[in-house]
Structure 1
Amino acid sequence: MKVIKDNAMAYSTLYETLEHESVQKVNETGLRFINTSAKLNKNKFEAFFTSINNINTQIRNLNDIQLIINLLVKNLRSIFTVEDAHLFLFNDNSYDLLPVTNKCDRGIRLTVEAALKNGIINWIFENKKTVILPNLAKSTKNAPRLNYLIIPIIERKQKMGILVIQTPISELKDDSFEMKAVNLLTGLIYPKIAMITNQDKVNEAIKESHTYKSKLSNDSKLAAIGELTNGIIEDIMKPTQVIMSCSDFLKNDYPEVDKNLLETINNQVKKIETVMVRLAKFANSNSNSTITTSCNINNEISEYVDLLMSSIKNDNYECILDLGENIPPILSNSNMLNQIFSNLFSLIKMGFTETGGILIQTRFQSGDVLVNIFTTDCMKELSGKSKDSFNLTYSMIKNLMNKHEGKVIYNSRAENGTSISLQFPFKRKLKK
């Protein structure tokens, strides 16, 4: 057999074909250690650049903050282990951190609140550090303990918020690839989130502008009605005084006239005078007065309801007052309270049916003076112009309650009717 040796091609041995490429040199024995770090780093970089491309491509069509955060989480998972992420932004006074979505659970909110209260968040922003806080909550047997990776978001040297990432990782170095990737990807999504939140603020400002325009229009109408009311009251009171004088004259000079009839006339005239006095008091309240004084909420409600009682009865409705005892006074003024009550009853009357009832209750509870209004009607069935009018009136009530540093809580169900709760704080913050 003749062997041809012209082919000088070298073939690798079996172990050489199975090993990865290594940057290390071959030692004296001719063997090389298998090194996978180069390939792993290559995979990480590929995943990172793919994530950048995915976010830049997909974020353009997203206008929901939760979907943007989900996109971030999905791409972070290609770099390291991530369970979930939540974004918190500072409110207007930069005192409180609030989650931007409703998905954030109570445990994470409490952790962020505690970190803010204990100065940890301030330290993070002062040092511009990304830190990992341990999760002290008990974990299930099969689930790993998740920690909180907190990333500060700073824009133009102002602290804007934090991104909280739930991860089983307990340590990440500042100069690590993972940390740099997280900071860069967070920087990619935040401008779009800021644009969405700013747009929401602009829409809210436009809505408030329309509300105040409507309020100014209503105030001017009320002022005109007040001026007309004074003249009308005078025109009504003069004839009633003449009727009372004639009744007394008949009673004294004509004994044969039925005394019960004359007594009925006098009683009805006195009712008219009482209503006119209340109306005059309401019309003459100084609409320009913004002086905050101590107000008895029970007295204000009683006087206002007395004024509207005839109108309520004409609508076949019954109004019951359940005014609590020892209710402390609140800081307000009669004009602002009358505006609240006027808008409140306008809101209630939108849901009036053929017949029904209203219960007005006052209580002092947990440092708040509560005014609870219950009606037998359901407001959810409103639609069209009625719904628009409802939203506008409700917004006006909210703005007036905000001036009192209070809240309004609304709930309406077909089976239970409607409840509206006004919460006036007994103690108000001092304003400069």
Structure 2
Amino acid sequence: MNAPTHHAQRTAHLATAGTGRMPRAVHAVLADCTARDDRLGPRALQQHLDTLPGPTVHQRLGRLLGVPARDTTLTTGAADAFEAFLSRLTPGPGEHIWTTPHEDVAHLSALTALRDRTRCTLDVVPLRPDGDLDLDWMRTRIGPHVALVSVTHVSSACGTVNPVEEIGRILAPHRARYALDASHSAGLLPLDAARIGCHLLAADGWRFLRGPHDTGFAYTAPTAPTAPTAPTAPTAPAAPTAGGAPTAPAPAPAAAAALNAALAHHSAAPAHPAEDLLPRLRATLLGISGIELLPAGREQAPILAFRHREIPAARLRRALARRDVILCKTVAAQNPLHPAGQGGATAVRASLHPGNTVHDIDRLGQALREVLREERHTAAPAAPRLAAAAAGHGLDHPTPRPAHPVRRGHLTLHRTP
């Protein structure tokens, strides 16, 4: 592999929550496997991978999650694993499944499909005024009528870390299945599926673990191949597979080998918690006029979303990218139930990984100030033109776009008071 260019070395990549940059070792494995597949074919590639020394990808996943390797599965992403898990569940009328405002649209779509297939009720666990999930709401309403609880470990909308172990303790005495989306915590925060007490833990491999796209994994507890079901009216069966139940699609062998390399790189990386840089990132953003942080809960991962009072998020992100500071733009449709998405406004999201440095954050602060100065300079000449237009000097009056209500469609959920 070619050595990184100077451009790549000086880029401040603060978008790992969207897509992590693959380490050089992962690039090398992916390139080698692709070349072998192209030259010798997939069978020869698989035989080559089977003879490689060192831990398998499942062994590394077991260590990452604190579970037996045999209980882990490779998938093309967390959403696919989640959908396959839901296809095994058959709650019926009178039963409830719970989700949270942090759920992303892919998981919400799968949950609403389960609701429509089984005619159960889908409830949203409310947030407290401080932004945390209302665990008292859960404690007072949990019972045999709850068949599934779906929770996101770290919110992609604002970085809130949900108390997943405490939720597991609340659910443990009850029949409800517990599904956890760890897409934005795997590789960033410690994970112990046994302590959490979940029946499913699914995550993407291309975010903080910095593997290739279309890779992911799942842990399924041995007690959770199917959910216990109360007697209900018959429901339409899910599409059968060779094993008798739907399964999530698996990644290509080359991608799986590259994910294994990413897991090896993650386990060998020096301990440098990204959370240590979070206070500096927050202070940098709050020290810039016009920047507003999206509110989060009391515990926050090193993921911050923010807006500027005047500059649209897309323009801000593009202007930063021109200065080699890479962030993500988020839209309300990605987390349609979260307060951050109310009104359809977009935001810019900065996320840290253990390879980031103080220099990256300082680069962000410097670039933001440059962008704001540039915006003020280019906006100033517009004032005479707007005044001329108002005086009828041949310029069209700006016509505001009609405000369209947010359409939820099949994502309309039931909120229990």
Q: What range is the shorter-chain TM-score in?
A: under 0.3
Q: Pick 1 or 2: higher relative contact order, CA cutoff 8 A, min separation 6.
A: 2
TM, length-normalised to structure 1: 0.24
Higher helix share: 1
Larger Rg: 1
Higher strand share: 1
TM, length-normalised to structure 2: 0.25
